Each structure stands twice: as structure tokens, then as C-alpha cells.
Amino acid sequence: MTSFRAWTSLLLVSALFFLVTAATFNALGPALHDMVGELHWSGSEAGAGFSLLGVFCGITATIPAFLIRRIGVRLTLALGGVVMAAAFACLAMAHGLTLYFAGCSLAGLGFTLLATVPATYLLARNFERPSFIFGIYFTLGQGGAVAGPLLYLWIAGLSGWRAVWIVSGAAILLTSLLAALLVDAGTDVAAAAERDPEITRESWTVKAALKTPQFAVLAAAYSVFLFVDITVNAFSIQHLMAHGVGETTAVSLLSVGALINAGGRLGGGLLSRVIDAKTLLAVALLLLAGGLLALCAGGSPLMLLLYVAGIGIGSGLTFFASTILLLDYFGRKPNLELFATVNVISTVGSVGPAFAGLVFDHTGSFVPAFLILAVLVAVILVAVLRMTHPRGAAA
């Protein structure tokens, strides 16, 4: 029977994921409008900070794995809270670019210390059948993407944009310290024997797993959904408005997509009991490609519906299924380092907006960029369909 402390761990790491998701990527977007207006930054200066946030989330992804193996997950979470508090202190005090860039960079590091890498490590050790638990965790975290802009508008409307960063830093620091005190860091349900029939019983090492084509395919799938998400978030509004869609509708579709994304993650957790994760990943990539094609097609109600459903469900389900397959294929023991490595590789998704902007500058349209992304997703889909369960783990 799952212990009360395991459920407490799920609650606390989910709360952290919700808060850091809401307060970073999804609050900084609307905040930049107010910050640029008051501090008179250029668009490129403001955008550079956002890029630093994304890049630091990726390039620091192996740091929590390193720290967990050496100082433990509790101290890692506490350190993450301190780093995030420092990040938001920089943003709250920013009057120039130095503190703004420092805050965004520290927020990227804090995100990796508090979000998916330590959480998946804990949950895989606390729950015998972690797939559904991962679905709950990813869904609650994605809720931050839905709530972030609304919370920003509420707090900023009462006390200004600087207050948003103060409140965010305090909330995350408090929650991280509670997590450091209360999570179950001692339990390892697979210490005696693996009880989840989907998770391999072979003893994979990190080095051996990294050499397999299956790892490369899963890393590519995880990266491509981020590539698509970041690009769509950056330019879908401009693209749709050029095709006759109103600004309010185009912006609202992003929020609806974030909500559907959360539903896709929860749906993955539920469906994983009856459908294998590889099939879920293939369906997710098919939906993702279809959503991109619908986005290219213009602004009819049907195409908008297909676009938001395809991107939303496809992204959420790709995130879930690729993470679960990594655990199923290579086991719990090397998962901490493997998942951290996948997060580093996925930093390539940060070039999405620059790529789409370059295409637009040369063609006057974002359609070619979206079509190229759809082809890339299709190529990875074919690789997933051909993928088999890895065998022959090295000792």
C-alpha cells in the first residue's frame, strides 16, 4: 500500500511545479509588457531575458541529478528555493538589464532544481506504478501555465509588477522548504524487486542507455514538442491575426491550448493503464503534426479547433509518453541522469522562435516554418513506430 508520505511528496512536488511554471515562463510574458513600458527597454533586450530563462533551464538540467546523488534530494529542493528567491529578488529590484538578465538566468537554474528532474526521481521511488502518478504531477504542473497570466494580472493590478516577483519568490521559497522537510526521500519501492510490469528488469547503466537508438528517439520526441510549443507560443498570434483572426481570439487560443495540454497529460496517465506508452507517443506525435498543419491552413473555426486540440493534446501527451518510455525502457536506477540528459538535449527547442523569425523575414509568412516543423515531427513519428524495446543492458 502506498504510504501517506508518498502522497505528501506528490502534493508538494506538484505544488512546486505549478508555482515555478506559473511564475516563470507564464508570468514573464505578460510582465514584459509592463516592464518594457516602465524601463524603456527595446524588444530585443526584453526578449533576450526570456531566451536566457529558456536556455538556463536546459543547460543546467544535469545539475539537480549531480546534487541529488551527492547531497540528497531534500537539500537540492531547499537550494532550489533559495536560488529562485534570489532570482525573483533580482527581477523585483531591476531598473536596468543587469539585474533583469541575472534574474532570468537564476530563474532558469531554479526551475531545474525544483521541477521535473527531482520530482520524477522522487515519484519513481515512492510509487510502484508511477505512470498514472506522473500523469497527475504533469497535469498539476501544467495548471501553472493556465493560472500564471491570470495570477500576474491579479497581483500586478493590485500592487504593480514588482510585487508579482516578491510574492512569487516568497511562495516558492516557502513551498520548497516544506518539500525539503516533508518529502519521502528514503523510500525506494524497487529496491527489493521491480513490481511494475511495464518497467524493464534489466540492469541498465547510464552509459549503456545513452548509446541506444531508443534513447536518441525519445530525446528527439521530447525535444520536438518543446520546439513546437515555444515556436507556437511565440508566433501563433501574429500568424493567426495575419489570417483574419482577432487578437483576443488568438490570445485566448493559447490559454485554451495550455488547458488542453494539461488534459493531455492527465489523459496519458489514465490511458497508460490500458494502452502502451509507445502507442500513446505515436498518437501524440500524429496529433502534433496535425495541429501544425491546421495552424498553417488559416483561421476557419474548424481549423482553429483542430489546431488548438492537436497542439494541446499532442504536446501534453508527448511529454508524458516520452518520459514514461524512458523509465520503462531503462529502469528506475539510471532514470535520474537519463531524464536530466534529455532535458539538456531539449534546449535545442529554444532556437524555435529564432528559426521561425528567420523564415518569416525571408518569406513573409510563418507557414513554411510550421510546415518544416510538421515534417520534423513526422520523421520522429516514423522512428517511434519502428522503435523496439531495447535489449542487452550492459552490466
pLDDT in tens, 202-254: 889 999 999 999 999 999 999 999 899 888 877 888 889 888 888 788 878 88
Quick: pLDDT tens for 3-43: 889 999 999 999 999 999 999 988 887 888 788 889 998 86
Query: What is the pLDDT at residue 166?
Result: 97
In tens, the pLDDT along 256-313 reads 888 898 888 888 988 888 899 999 999 999 999 999 999 998 778 899 999 999 999 9
Fold of 4-182: Growth Hormone; Chain: A; (1.20.1250)
CATH fold match for the domains 4-182 and 206-386: yes
pTM reported for the whole predicted model = 0.87
- How much is the pLDDT for 192? 59
More confident residue, 360 or 60: 60
Task: Look over the chain and give the mean of its residue pLDDT values, rounded to a whole number.
Answer: 91
pLDDT at res. 194: 65
**What pLDDT, on a 0 to 100 scale, did the predictor assign at position 169?**
97
Domain definitions of the chain by residue range:
4-182, 206-386
Q: Quote the pLDDT of residue 200.
A: 85
Q: What is the pLDDT of residue 62?
A: 94
Name the band, by pLDDT with cuts 50, 70 and 90, for residue 191: low
Q: How high is the pLDDT of residue 189?
A: 86
Could you tell me the pLDDT band of residue 196, with boundaries at 50, 70 and 90?
confident
pLDDT band at 395, cuts 50/70/90? very low
1 pLDDT band, cuts 50/70/90, is low
Q: What is the pLDDT of residue 207?
A: 94
What percent of the chain clears pLDDT 70, i.e. is strictly above it?
Answer: 97
Structurally, what CATH architecture does the domain formed by 206-386 represent?
A: Up-down Bundle (1.20)
Tens digit of pLDDT for each residue in 99-122?
Answer: 999 999 999 999 999 999 999 999
Q: What is the pLDDT of residue 241?
A: 86
Determine the average pLDDT of the residues in 76-90. 98
Which 3-state string (H, E, C) describes the chain?
CCCHHHHHHHHHHHHHHHHHHHHCHHHHHHHHHHHHHHHCCCHHHHHHHHHHHHHHHHHCCCHHHHHHHHHCHHHHHHHHHHHHHHHHHHHHHCCCHHHHHHHHHHHHHHHHHHCHHHHHHHHHHHCCCHHHHHHHHHHHHHHHHHHHHHHHHHHHHHHCHHHHHHHHHHHHHHHHHHHHHHCCCCCCCCCCCCCCCCCCCCCCCHHHHHCCHHHHHHHHHHHHHHHHHHHHHHHHHHHHHHCCCCHHHHHHHHHHHHHHHHHHHHHHHHHCCCCCHHHHHHHHHHHHHHHHHHHHHCCCHHHHHHHHHHHHHHHHHHHHHHHHHHHHHHCCCCHHHHHHHHHHHHHHHHHHHHHHHHHHHHHCCCHHHHHHHHHHHHHHHHHHHHCCCCCCCCC
pLDDT in tens, 243-263: 888 878 887 888 888 889 888
